[in-house]
Amino acid sequence: LAEITAVAERYLGPSPTHPYWAGAVVLAGRGGTVALETAVGRAVRYSDYDAATGRAVEFPPEEQIDATPDTVYDLASLSKLFTSLLVVQQLERGRIELEAPAARYVPEFAQGGKQDVTVRHLLTHTSGMPAWIALYRQPDREAMLRALWAVEPTDAPGTVYRYSDLSLITLQLVLERVTGKPLDVLLAEELTGPLDLTRTRYNPPADWRPRIAATEVSRPPWAGLDRGLVWGEVHDENAYAMGGVAGHAGVFSCAWDLAVLARTLLNGGEYGGVRVLSERSVELLFSDFNTAFPGDGHGLGFELNQHWYMGAMATPRTAGHTGFTGTCIVLDPTTDSFLVLLGNSVHPVRTWRS
């Protein structure tokens, strides 16, 4: 545990040229015990970035904000886990079928040759769709949806593993059609509310800003939009263009809330007397649906056995995910342990961590 803290602190320095992150929070536990909870560095350090010199502009020392265990981070792609859990809940309730084509629920999705893409393909990133398209370049939400409908798979569904934001955006639309509720409302009603995750939500209010870690100075050419310092709003351009609520990105949270989520899943879907998933459904999160693609193990929503970030915790049933902003969660059911790592490694700019 001391080594974990030392590594987190080491990345505050040259890694190898610039700091890997401005700050980070680490929380680890086994069973019902929190073994480590620590914060290092700054949640907010830089106000701007000068591309000509490659130097960052720091806030005055009195305006910089330390990272604390309660700091809220933009989770980036960890948001995909919440979307996936909401889908699995609907699988339980019989409103969605795993092997059903997504077009059963969103008929427009069948355009572009996607009629055979199933819910399982979307949850396991085997849809054959491209990884990403620049939806934020569209003028409005309806145009974004038309662009998504027009996407053509580059491979037949089920024949290739390709991590795709588009899969989780599609699942958002499936959920919204099936339930008649927006994704942020579903998140609050079905997960964060029942589990009392009070610091987990889309679009955090303005008064949360002093407790939120800043992300990137967003400016072309390294970013898609010219927004200046992104702080308190979602970093991902497509999620931002979608109003901050998207299936692939947009959720903000803190280490403790993610620890509660981890314990809920390791407990078989229950925490504090509240059950959000059945044990059978939780088992689907830790079961590999991608045995045809060695090295790309995937449960429903969760990556499995990824040594590159799970390290010594990696086993065939170890589940987790990473996020572009510098976030990570790992759950190991074989040892009943978890680790949450939240950093702002794109602060001040994504290229520094290269």
Helix-, strand-, coil-residue percentages of the chain, each rounded to 5: 35, 20, 45
Distance CA 47, CA 328 (A): 25
Domain endpoint, select from 179, 206, 223: 179
Q: Does 184 fall in a domain?
A: no
Residues 33-82 have pLDDT tens digits of 999 999 999 999 999 999 999 999 999 999 999 999 999 999 999 999 99
Amino acid residing at 200? T
What is the DSSP code string of 268-323?
Answer: TSEETTEESS-HHHHHHHSS-S-TTSTT--B-SS-EE--HHHHGGG--TT-EEEEE
Model confidence at 178, in pLDDT bands (50, 70, 90)? very high
Domain endpoint, select from 145, 179, 213: 179
| Percent of the chain clearing pLDDT 90 (strictly above) | 97
Amino acid 106: pLDDT: 98
Amino acid residing at 178? V
Model confidence at 279, in pLDDT bands (50, 70, 90)? very high
- Report the SS3 class of residue 239: helix
Question: Which CATH number do you get for residue 243?
Answer: 3.40.710.10
Indicate if the alpha-carbon torsion angle 174, 179, 183, 188 is positive or negative: negative
Residues 279 and 173 in one domain: no
Amino acid 3: pLDDT: 86
Residues 66 and 213 in one domain: yes
Residue numbers of the domain that contains 289: 1-80+190-352
Q: 């024949």: which residue's tokens? A: 159
Closest CA to 136 of 74, 223, 251: 223
Residues 65 and 96 in one domain: no
What are the distances in angstroms from CA 216 to CA 231, 246, 313, 349? 8, 19, 30, 5
Residues 155 and 27 in one domain: no
Is the pTM for the entire model greater than 0.85? yes
- Report the SS3 class of residue 176: helix
pLDDT for 145 beyond 90: yes
* Domain count of the fold of the chain: 2
Residues 118 and 105 in one domain: yes
Radius of gyration of the chain (CA): 20
Query: In the numeric block, which tokens belong to residue 48?
Result: 């701007």
